[in-house]
């Protein structure tokens, strides 16, 4: 029998309430194709196994397979590389080194510091275990892998001790990028990005902390997270006529793959075509890091004139690619009796890995989300991207935002425990608001300006949290939990309510653009192509709904095709939660142009004006007559009306100054909040999520069913990051020991709470987004902060709420036991990676 307290099985999030369903039905009957729940456009293909991914494409005659020879050391260099034995192995056709790359040996996304293959002529520097040194091309994948597995025997290397943690990198002053700084002082009336500790702004912040009635300081360690997409990294390169190259690539950024492949081949962008029909998951891991695989496959195909496929297995994927940045944070905060923050200093050191990759924008977003939902009048932030001898960390759902926001939530929780107040009350006391409360520090604009100088003009956090607090019975349950804990020596319960404010847009202004093509064929069917990529999130479904709604037709008429750089050029990555915002608007623009042309045609034939023509439910009303959409399209074709169009959209009103770290980087904010209740076994460190109540703001939802699915998935994925997904590097060799499902644990269906209540907050975007909807990809990943702090609450209860628990993330069983030992008066907390290091030692001994 399960020793944890059982709860009724409730799936209230899986289905909308009856009034919501009735409203969706009414809208659909009235002709709406947005704001209604529709299945994912590939749902049937997914569940039947007929959805084609890159590895499902029929292999052309003569296809070769690639496997990569990887570095055996984390920090060193290649003294000698003898590939003769590998070249002689069965099935091997060729072995590529950096010398075989016609163009630039680099796949860095922003800074050119990321070699495709180790440059043997420039010292043969080895930066991490798993770094590709050479590539084996063979007739079969198994033959290629067997040959590449001989990498250690082919190399003579020298090695040095590796740097493996951001804290150690910071101590050595090793960074992949210059540090970032941002300070804001309401008292001084200014911001400062210089990092000068003697500036007036910095001095004002420190003075506010020093003068505060209460002060707390501490450190916080936060681990990284593997994307663990179901479909691993893969590229299939096929030579084309005239020196062209077609690359089928599982990527979130086809245009960047096109650009980097062209540079590696020393060709122009128009020589390279990148196609992606769908990915089996991405989560940011295929934004920049699909480049190495695309480049190697293309170089091999170009050299040999044969199709080349590169598909890495799960272990190699782990060993080669990066993941979410882990962070080592420190902070100092001053506050009053109510828990209001009077001044705060924070230093964030990210685990960047061996190269810059996207660490710069990740840190920028972390700094810009340190405030989360809170007004911080005096704030000083410093961000360092530590260079380590590990895989180069990269984008992951949230892109630094979760790391920054989690630190301020840690601070809020510690402030509450210092004062003996309910953490929710402390959080409320610090929420952004329209104006300063009496006697509080504030500016003329009020308590609604972020540290980076953007005004929070759409704040709904107060009413959203009010609604969730009431619907979840938060206060009642907290009292019941206190009563339970008083009578339970071993099992302790905890509860937490945490808010979310997440900025939507790319921090880089010019990325906020998109294009689309819409074709209406003369039989009335419709084809859509846009610059976004489908990775299971439902982007194609939403864009198809937007186009169907604009043309007044049934969704079944609309088909989305593969993302293709020869159709829509210069696209941005499908990232930053902007996929539907950007591509939906571009698709709407294209469809609207076609509708306006059709309206002119209808008015000419049936009377009235074009403005009076109505499109809905596959019908067109014009001049008092109703005709079928098919019939109007056929007539328009006879009249030589253009039945295709391109569309374009650029997000308005954005600005960002990298020098001052100020501007309006976000078009709007998405909000949310969650209440989680857990029970912890204080003897074993085991825990269980008993109930989760989620209320999330998606504006006026394009597809409520898809959005609820995204929220549920983000919650469980974020919970995995904060509680169980632990990355462990061997402390001496630098080997990533958790490089497979056997050692790296992600959440399963059993980790989903039996009582899981997910609702959409009813509202509309104040900005002119696509049908006033809001992004849903990344913001809900912050909702499971409530799980982490509920565990922290339960641990605190084990010590009678007398000690602030030193709980690190992920809150594994070992981490929970370490924290319990401290709150119960035992030994000091172990270092953040102590449990990991111990297991590595056992593994090394074995």
In the three-class reduction of DSSP (H, G, I as helix; E, B as strand; rest coil), residue 45 is classed as helix
Specify the 3-state DSSP secondary structure of 602: helix
Residue 258: which H helix or E strand, with range?
helix 254-265
Contacts of 100 (CB under 8 A, 6+ apart): 299, 303
Among candidates 187, 161, 188, 157, which has minimal Cα distance to 81?
A: 157
Taking Cα atoms as reference points, which of 677, 672, 338, 758 lies closest to residue 474? 677
What is the crossing angle of helices 423-430 and 401-419, to 10°? 120
Tokens of 152: 């250690």
Kindly provide the residue ranges of all beta strands, DSSP E only, lying in 293-397, ordered along the sequence: 308-311, 327-335, 341-353, 378-387
279 close to 227: Cβ distance less than 8 angstroms: no
Q: What secondary structure letter does DSSP report for 552? A: T
Instruction: Compute the distance between CA of residue 429 and CA of residue 404 in angstroms, rounded to an integer.
Output: 20
Q: How many CA atoms lie within 13 A of 162 on its CB side?
A: 29
Check: CB of residue 221 under 8 Å from CB of residue 808. Answer: yes
Two structure tokens written together for 661? 């770290």
Give whole-number Cα distances, 206 to 203, 210, 377, 411, in Å.
5, 6, 12, 17
Cβ neighbours of residue 43 under 8 Å, at least 6 residues apart? none
**Residues annotated catalytic, as ranges:** 778
Residue with tokens 């069917």: 525
Q: What are phi and psi of 822, to 5 degrees?
A: -75, -50
Pairwise CA distance, residues 571 & 373, whole Å: 32
Angle of CA points 321, 323, 327, to nearest 5°: 135
* Of 102, 129, 101, nearest in space to 117 by CA: 101
Determine the 3-state secondary structure of 148 from DSSP: helix
CB-based contacts of 803: which residues, under 8 Å, 6+ apart? Answer: 796, 822, 823
- Which residues have a Cβ under 8 Å from the Cβ of 805 and sit 6 or more positions away? 792, 795, 796, 799, 819, 820, 822, 823
Is the bond preceding residue 810 a cis peptide, omega within 30 degrees?
yes
| Residue-by-residue DSSP string for 177-241 | S--EEEEEETTTTEEE-S--TTSHHHHHHHHHHHHSSEEEEEEEEE--B----SS--EEEEEE-G
- The crossing angle, in degrees rounded to 10, of helices 813-823 and 834-845 is 130
Ramachandran quadrant class, 145 (left: phi over 0; alpha: psi -120 to 50; beta: rest): alpha
Cβ atoms within 10 Å of 132's Cβ, excluding its own: 25
The distance of Cα 697 from the centroid of its chain, to the nearest Å, equals 18
Closest C-alpha to 604, from 619, 585, 623, 591:
623
């Amino acid at each position: 029998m399960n020793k944890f307290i059982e709860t009724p099985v409730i799936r209230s999030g899986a289905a909308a309430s009856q009034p919501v369903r009735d409203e969706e039905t009414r809208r659909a009957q009235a002709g709406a194709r947005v704001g209604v729940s529709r299945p994912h456009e590939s749902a049937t293909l997914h569940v039947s196994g007929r959805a084609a991914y890159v590895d499902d494409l029929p292999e052309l005659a003569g296809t070769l397979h690639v496997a990569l020879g990887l570095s055996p050391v984390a920090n060193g260099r290649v003294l000698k590389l003898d590939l003769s034995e590998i070249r002689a192995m069965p099935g091997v056709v060729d072995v590529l080194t950096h010398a075989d790359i016609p163009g630039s040996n680099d796949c860095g996304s922003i800074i050119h510091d990321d070699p495709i293959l180790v440059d043997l002529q420039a010292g043969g520097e080895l930066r991490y275990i798993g770094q590709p040194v050479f590539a084996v091309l063979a007739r079969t994948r198994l033959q290629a892998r067997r040959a590449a597995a001989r990498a250690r025997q082919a190399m003579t290397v020298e090695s040095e001790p590796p740097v493996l943690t951001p804290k150690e990198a910071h101590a050595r002053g090793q960074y992949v990028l210059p540090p970032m700084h941002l300070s804001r002082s309401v008292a001084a009336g200014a911001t400062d990005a210089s990092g000068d500790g003697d500036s007036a702004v910095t001095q004002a912040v420190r003075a506010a902390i020093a003068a505060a009635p209460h002060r707390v300081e501490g450190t916080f360690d936060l681990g990284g997270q593997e994307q663990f997409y179901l479909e691993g990294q893969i590229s299939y390169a096929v030579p084309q006529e005239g020196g062209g190259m077609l690359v089928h690539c599982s990527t979130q950024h086809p245009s960047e793959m096109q650009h980097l492949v062209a540079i590696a081949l020393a060709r122009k962008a128009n020589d390279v075509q990148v196609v992606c029909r769908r990915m089996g998951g991405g989560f940011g891991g295929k934004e920049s890091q699909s480049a190495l695989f695309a480049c190697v496959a293309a170089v091999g195909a170009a050299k040999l004139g044969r199709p080349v496929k590169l598909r890495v297995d799960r272990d190699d994927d782990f060993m080669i690619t990066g993941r979410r940045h882990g962070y080592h944070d420190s902070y100092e905060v001053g506050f009053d009796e109510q828990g209001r923050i009077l001044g705060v200093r924070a230093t964030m050191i990210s685990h960047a890995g061996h190269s810059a990759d996207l660490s710069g924008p990740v840190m920028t977003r972390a700094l810009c989300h340190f405030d989360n939902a809170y007004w911080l009048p005096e704030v000083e932030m410093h961000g360092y991207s530590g260079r380590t001898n590990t895989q180069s960390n990269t984008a992951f759902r949230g892109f630094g935002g979760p790391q920054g926001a989690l630190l301020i939530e840690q601070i809020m929780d510690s402030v509450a425990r210092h004062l003996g107040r309910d953490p929710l009350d402390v959080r409320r006391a610090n929420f952004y608001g329209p104006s300063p409360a009496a006697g509080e520090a504030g500016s003329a604009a009020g308590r609604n300006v972020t540290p980076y100088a953007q005004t929070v003009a759409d704040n709904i956090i107060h009413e959203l949290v009010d609604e969730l607090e009431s619907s979840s019975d938060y206060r009642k349950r907290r009292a019941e939990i206190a009563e339970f804990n008083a009578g339970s020596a071993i099992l302790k319960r905890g509860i937490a309510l945490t808010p979310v404010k997440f900025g939507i847009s790319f921090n880089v202004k010019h990325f906020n653009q998109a294009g689309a093509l819409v074709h209406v064929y003369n039989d009335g069917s419709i084809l859509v192509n846009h610059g976004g990529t489908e990775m299971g999130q439902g982007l194609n479904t939403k864009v198809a709904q937007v186009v169907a709604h604009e043309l007044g037709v049934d969704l079944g008429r609309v088909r989305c095709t593969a993302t293709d750089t020869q159709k829509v050029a210069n696209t941005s990555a499908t990232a930053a939660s902007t996929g539907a915002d950007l591509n939906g608007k571009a698709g709407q623009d294209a469809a609207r142009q076609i509708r306006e042309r059709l309206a002119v045609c209808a008015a000419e034939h049936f009377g009235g004006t074009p403005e009076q023509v109505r499109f809905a439910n596959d019908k067109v009303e014009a001049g008092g007559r109703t005709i079928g959409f098919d019939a109007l399209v056929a007539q328009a074709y006879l009249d030589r009306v253009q039945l295709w169009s391109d569309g374009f959209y650029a997000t308005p009103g954005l600005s960002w100054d990298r020098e001052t770290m100020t501007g309006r980087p976000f078009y709007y904010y998405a909000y949310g909040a969650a209440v989680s209740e857990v029970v912890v076994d204080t003897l074993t460190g085991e825990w269980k999520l008993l109930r989760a109540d989620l209320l999330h703001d998606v504006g006026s939802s394009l597809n409520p069913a898809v959005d609820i699915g995204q929220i549920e998935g983000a919650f469980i994925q974020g919970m995995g990051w904060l509680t169980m997904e632990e990355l462990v590097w061997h402390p001496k060799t630098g080997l990533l020991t958790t490089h497979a499902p056997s050692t790296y644990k992600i959440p399963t269906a059993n980790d989903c709470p039996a009582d899981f209540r997910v609702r959409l907050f009813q509202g509309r975007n104040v900005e002119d987004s696509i049908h006033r909807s809001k992004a849903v990809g990344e913001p809900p990943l912050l909702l499971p902060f409530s799980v982490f702090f509920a565990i922290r609450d339960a641990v605190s209860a084990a010590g009678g709420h007398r000690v602030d628990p030193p709980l690190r993330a992920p809150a594994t069983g070992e981490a929970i036991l370490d924290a319990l030992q401290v709150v119960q008066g035992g030994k000091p907390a172990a270092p953040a990676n102590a449990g990991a290091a111990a297991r590595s030692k056992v593994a090394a001994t074995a």
